[in-house]
Amino acid sequence: MLNGKKRWLYIAVPIFFFWFFGQIDKVGISIIQTDPEFLNALGMTGDDKNAKIGLLSFVFTIAYGVSNLFWGFIIDKLGARKTAIAGLFIWTLTMITSGLANSYEVFLISRIILGFGEGMMIPVSGKFISSWFHKRELGRAQSSWLTGNYLGPAIGAIILVLVISLLHWQAAFFMLAAFNLFINIPMFIFMTRNTPEEHPRLSKEELAFIRQQDEEDKNGEPSEAKNFAKDHRFWIVWFGMLVCSFLFFGISIWLPTYLIEAKGFEKEGMSSITSLSWLFALGFVLACGFLADKTRRPSLMASLLFAMTAIFLTVAVFIGNPILAGLCMGLAMGAQGGVFHLSNMLMVKYSTPETAGRAAGLLGFTNIMGGFSSYIMGWLRDLSGGDFSTSIAMLIFAALLGLAAYIFSIKREAAELQGAPFSVQKVQA
């Protein structure tokens, strides 16, 4: 049944759950921070309440972004498998520490360590995808793990609200630790290997397919000679990811609070729209994975997604209906999910299996902007008495910056497409 396709089982499945549970760990705080008992227990009250809440995501994403650079070099030396297992143990321990925290300072430190532990997720995934999949499969391979990236929070939002309501906010963290300990870690130990050549259950035929070259690779520059750091297109993608991180974290971290405090939703309604927003992101990811492989115009698609984000955010500011405003915020977040997917696909395109860890580490570093976004939004809310209008205006401006960056790469992309034949060697499904 899986003859010639075992790479999808041994690599795509573990990475799917890696991100499924990892993203619940990462963005679950956006749900937990709406719980009054959690806020009171850790002293997040008073006039600077929103700044304190924003600081939690700020320190996490700073550690997450900076550690991407560290993990990128470690992965290229030790391999993706050992790096993933080490990072999983780190963030499992921090989930337990978070559940036991009895002060804001202790919880803040646990978020920093969690950011460091989870910082290897993008480099690990980029390294596995680069080593295990044919160039023509990159869109689908990226979609397979990015599906977990968005499906996890979509389901996790409902689960976390239920666990907090029935048990306690601490139970949510212990549950997340158990997911990693009993599902993620065993998968990486028993199913994955660093390269297809190392896996004892992979056929020679499948290995030959993974390693075959396209005609355009044979006729072009040897992959070993490529240097992503000297390719200006990589730095356009890098800047676009800076903007994408700023937008995505700003919206996703504050969306549940926005729905409850600005639009008057109850927790059930909040969790429904929050889940739907993550499903929007999943829809954009799947659509972009398919269209990127078909059209080979990822830069044009990223430009359109940034434009759509600016439009959705503008509508959310001016529309009076709370449900439509919430949906527009969710669609804006979803569009940035598409940009995130395209950026990771382009990162693999502009690097090689030997340099994918470092390239992904640089791309992952851009998550640092998510911390600035979440903190600045909290600070602006405190200044404006809890109003979100100024914060959303800031996000609209950021979306326009992302659009401007990608416009510079559209013409080059079109020229490359005209110069490279589309019908190269047929890719195995």
Per residue in 168-226, pLDDT (tens digit) is: 889 999 999 999 999 999 999 999 998 888 888 888 888 888 888 644 455 555 444 45
CA-to-CA separations, 364 to 119, 288, 331, 371, in angstroms, rounded: 8, 20, 23, 13
First-to-last C-alpha distance (Å) of the chain? 13
Residue 148 clears pLDDT 80, i.e. is over it: yes
- Half-sphere exposure of residue 134, counting CA atoms within 13 Å on the CB side? 21
Which residue has tokens 């997340």? 176
Select the more confidently predicted residue: 415 or 316. 316
Domains 1-200 and 228-410 share a fold: yes
Residue 421 clears pLDDT 60, i.e. is over it: no
| Helix H or strand E segment including 295 | helix 267-295
CA-to-CA separations, 119 to 62, 69, 88, 115, 116, in angstroms, rounded: 10, 9, 10, 6, 5
Question: What is the predicted pLDDT for the residue at 152?
Answer: 87
State both tokens at 10.
Answer: 């041994």
At 76, is the pLDDT very low, low, confident or very high (cuts 50, 70, 90)? confident
Select the more confidently predicted residue: 104 or 352. 104
Residues 6+ apart with CB under 8 A from 342: 288, 292, 298, 299, 301, 302, 305
Assigned CATH for 1-200: 1.20.1250.20
Where are the chain's structural domains? 1-200, 228-410
Question: What is the predicted pLDDT for the residue at 425?
Answer: 40
Residue 424 clears pLDDT 60, i.e. is over it: no
Per residue in 7-51, pLDDT tens? 888 999 999 998 898 888 777 788 888 888 988 988 888 777 888
- pTM for the model: 0.73
Question: What is the predicted pLDDT for the residue at 177?
Answer: 92
CB 193 within 8 A of CB 45: no
Q: Which of 3.20.20.70, 3.40.1190.10, 1.20.1250.20, 3.40.50.2300 is the CATH number of 228-410?
A: 1.20.1250.20
At 108, is the pLDDT very low, low, confident or very high (cuts 50, 70, 90)? very high
Distance separating alpha carbons of residues 324 and 395, to the nearest angstrom:
18
User: Mean pLDDT score of the chain, rounded to an integer?
Assistant: 82
* Angular region, 3: left φ>0, alpha ψ -120 to 50, beta rest: beta
Question: What is the predicted pLDDT for the residue at 82?
Answer: 92
User: Distance of alpha carbon 53 from its chain centroid, rounded?
Assistant: 21
